[in-house]
Amino acid sequence: MLLSAGRNNTQGPPSCIILPIFGIAGSGKTTLAQLVFNDDAHSLQEYNFRVWVYVSPELDFHKICQSILRQVMLGEGKKEEINDHGSNSDVAGMEHIMKCLQELLNGKKVLLVLDDLWEEDSIQLQLLKSMIIFLVDKVDVIVTTCNQAIAWKVCTAGPYKLNPLGDDTCWELIKKSICLEEQNEELEKIGLEIASKCWGLPSAAQAIAGMLDSRDPTRWEKVMRTDMRDISFGAYLPSRIMLSTFNLSYMGMPPDFRLCVDYCCNIFPNDHNIGKDDLTHQWIALHLIETFKILPATQVAEDYIRRLLDMSFLQTAKSEHARVVEDKGAILFTMHNLVNILTHELRQSKRYSLKTNHCGKLDNDDYARALRCVGCSRMEINNDTFSSKSCLHVLELKESGVQKLPDSICKLRHLGYLKISQFSGLVTLPESFGHLINLLHVDLSGCSGITNLPESFGDLIHLVHVNLSGCSGLVSLPESFGKLLNLVYFNLSDCTGIVTLPELFGDLVNLSHIDLSRCHRLSETLEVLKRFVKLVYLDLSFWSCFQGIEKCLGRLTNLEHLDLSNPCCYLAQQHSNLQDIKNAMGKLTKLRYLNLSMCLNPIFYHHQSQEESLQYIQSCISGLSSLEHLNLSHNSFLFDLPQSLGDLNRLHTLNLSGCIRLKKVGEMKSLKFIALRNCQGLESCKFVVRVVDDDDTYSSSNIVQLEDVNCQELQISCLEKVKSKEEAQRIRLVEKQKLEKLKLSWTLDSIRLVEDSDLLGKLVPPPNLQCLEVNGYNSTCLPDYLGDLTSLQELKIICCKQLIYLPDSIQKLTNLENLCIFNCPELEKWCQLEDNKKMLAHIPNKNYEYAPPYCLLFYYSLIFTFLQLLAHVLLLGVSYVEKTE
């Protein structure tokens, strides 16, 4: 199945398929490759040779070719000739090996496994691919690697990602390892708890199993309570492999990149999230990133984060909410639990300090460069707290009730990053705050008691990032704020008390990110927005009805993210202000994210017809060819969607939750996420199954999003992309009592990862279904539950070429009036047999037709068009001859 999926997705020459398997160390990549390599299935008998090569950290073409030659010659029974080939590592020796391999492998088919590939250089990887293609006429290659970037560089088919196992699966592995077959509830309960410590890694499960050699519950409870950091990893081979793999990755990093990793290891507690922007600015403030004239520091940091994600050192934090739930543009990361444990040795640096729920005074540490205090409610903060911390570059203080910051904090002249978050009692900042002249990043989010900022705030001329979100007591900004000419990011969301902006605010022309959510009292001063032509992100949610919004938006042609959700429109004038935004939308051609949740309600309420509302949406989105995420949720007067929405080829997320009057959702092939919760009026839905994550070809599909859909007519196409029976079961089709018409379609001749019969067996329709169409189904019989659909009036079976008979239960369908079978040759023959005609005699209308394949129809249409053209030319010729005579 692994290799067949690779053939289906191949992007290289058909004779060479390179399918990488990637995942964190210990996830079972090599084990999976071994299972394929050693499989004696009929499909693998076609290989003349199976060759396994351990690549090692250093890519050596000579060693690879030599290993292939040895194994091929052994397979040919030429053991005595092995030592005569390839002993030299010079160019001549390499040429001789390659010549021998070409002769031996001419016309042969080879399964080649390249285990543990570490090379990241694109040129070297391309040379590797070229060498393989040159040596072997027909070759299927499986590559194992820990690095996702390597997988994508070397592949010709979408890489296979090994995701973590569930706790239940880890427990089954442990039981198998210790041969625990008898039922023991006490051990079962403890064992499941222990399995949760495996982080989903088979190797970790195997290592922990080695500690459970007895059946003593007391011993097991001791293991359960053991902190994984206290386990001696040298004691178990799988763990040693994981540790050595991590060390290879770490030691292979450039020095400045390694410094960034050291910082993460010291500052990340277990299961703690950190924002991408926070991490970037902390690295920069600590001067851990070398700046180049070509690449700015933020771009270098972006590249480092991407590489850490590829190596599984960092992971994107899992949200508790659905993927379609809106965010505020923040991307959160966490460090993998295994990496946290394996990097324990790196956490000896006194330069970086993390305090969680610290009680009392801070330690005197003259050389600390970064200090993060999470939970400061019991921490003693006085005038001398930061006197001995003169080397600090990063300071984060979170959650405290102190009313005043000590003046000593303003003497930290090296400080580049300052976050004082959720200090609910804080009223003001020291007047000397402007002395922190090296500050790049200031975050005062959640300091709801602050009423003003000191005038010296404007002296922080190097600031690029200011976050004042949740400072609800803030009334105004100092006039000196207009001096922050390097400012790129400005967040004023939930500052409900602020009334005006500084006079020189419009001079901050480098701003690319502005969040003014819920700042509804600022409406009189926002003409200034049109000056920020570099703006990429703009959030005006919960008040976007101000006069002149059309002119403001029309100038911001670089916008990629726009949020106009939940406008507060109470007056007729405000409705007309919002009505005009459609004129600006057409100019925002770079827009990727658009949130119009509840935004259309005050507009559509005053429209005379549904057609007028449909034209309004059409005019809003028609030019947005770059749009990826669209939120139209809770627009109660939205009855229909424009057909042009399906033409937005990059649109992958659409939120229609709470659109209670929406009647129809058409086919949109690019969509991966669609939210249809609480769409009570929905009558018809066309749904295309897609893989959720394109970077992970084998991740789950989006069919589970149909769980909230309950309409009268449902069409589900591309069912071959469903990844498991469980996904189909989750949508609970049988419970959708409103469903009357159902169409289920597979793409013809496509590779399936789930057998069609298994999948259709889980897609059980409700008994009140009236019309069922099955298209492209690739199994021999329909499920027996067909006889339970006693309300069925019409059954269509189309292009099901493997279908050879109908179940006996079809005789129970006494209400069935129409049976249509198209392009199902074997089933049509079955229907013509006398005994089967009697079985179907109760159906009044039966239609059996064999339609020619689409390609033949296309061919016939071409011939017809050509003949028409030829006749036209002949007529012109005759006409010309008559005129000349």
Q: What are the tens digits of pLDDT across the range 591-635?
A: 999 999 998 887 776 666 788 888 888 888 888 999 999 999 999
Distance between start and end Cα atoms, the chain: 72
Residue 521 phi, psi dihedral angles, 5° rounding: -80, 0
Predicted local distance difference test score (pLDDT) of residue 773:
97
> Thinking of the domain 2-161, which architecture would CATH place it in?
3-Layer(aba) Sandwich (3.40)
What confidence category does residue 877 fall into, taking pLDDT thresholds of 50, 70 and 90? Answer: low
Q: Is the dihedral of CA 185, 186, 189, 191 positive or negative?
A: negative
The pLDDT value recorded for residue 241 is: 57
Q: Report the C-alpha gap between 515 and 277 in whole angstroms.
A: 15
Report the distance separating Cα 75 and Cα 59, nearest Å: 25
How many Å apart are CA 698 and CA 691, to the nearest integer?
Answer: 8
Distances (CA, A) of 192 to 26, 189, 229, 245, 883: 20, 5, 19, 27, 95
Pairing of strands 332-335, 274-275: antiparallel
Over pLDDT 90: what percentage of the chain? 38
Per-residue pLDDT at 575:
66
Spatial distance between the Cα atoms of 247 and 174, rounded to a whole number of angstroms: 27
Rounded distance, CA 251 to CA 254, Å? Answer: 8
Tell me the mean pLDDT in the region 460-484. Answer: 94
Per-residue model confidence as pLDDT tens digits over 553-576: 889 999 999 999 988 765 556 666
- Calpha distance 144→29 (Å, rounded): 6
Separation between Cα atoms, residue 524 and residue 361, nearest integer Å: 47
Q: Which residues of 372-403 are buried (b: 16+ CB within 10 A; e: fewer)?
A: bbbbbeebebeeebbebbebbbbbbbbbbebe
Residues in contact with 794: Cβ distance below 8 Å, sequence separation at least 6, in sequence order:
770, 771, 772, 816, 817, 818, 820
**Separation CA 722–CA 729 (nearest Å):** 11
C-alpha pair distances (Å), 611 with each of 648, 664, 779: 21, 14, 44
**Checking phi first, is residue 645 left (phi over 0); if not, alpha (psi -120 to 50) or beta?**
alpha
Helices (H), 76-166: 91-105, 122-135, 148-154
Q: Report the pLDDT value the prediction gives residue 675, as an integer from 0 to 100.
A: 94
Which range of 248-262, 314-328, 676-690 scores highest in mean pLDDT? It is: 676-690
Hey, what are 756's tokens?
A: 């069609």
216-241 tens-digit pLDDT: 777 788 778 766 555 544 444 455 55
CA distance 603 to 574: 10
pLDDT reported for residue 30: 87
Q: Is the pLDDT of residue 805 over 90?
A: yes
Quote the pLDDT of residue 757: 93
pLDDT at position 321: 35
| Rounded Cα gap, residues 585 and 553, in angstroms | 8
Provide the 8-state DSSP code for 289: S
Rounded distance between C-alpha atoms, residue 352 and residue 348, angstroms: 9
CATH topology of domain 253-346: Arc Repressor Mutant, subunit A (1.10.10)
- Angle (nearest 5°) at CA 143 between 141 and 146: 170
Task: Map out the domains of the chain as residue ranges.
Answer: 2-161, 167-226, 253-346, 683-851, 857-885
DSSP symbol at 781: B
Residue-wise burial string across 512-541, b where 16 or more C-beta atoms lie within 10 A, e elsewhere: bbbbbbbbbebbebbebbbbbeebbbbbbb
Beta bridge partners of 655: 631, 675
Reported pTM: 0.80
Residue whose tokens read 């006197």: 387
DSSP state of 38: T
Residue 336 backbone zone (phi > 0: left; psi -120 to 50: alpha; other: beta): beta
Average pLDDT over residues 329-351: 67
Q: What is the fold, at CATH topology level, of the domain defined by 683-851?
A: 3.80.10
How far is the C-alpha of 31 from the C-alpha of 38, rounded, in Å?
10
Query: Which tens digit of pLDDT belongs to each residue from 529-543?
Result: 889 999 999 999 988
pLDDT given for residue 440 in this prediction? 94
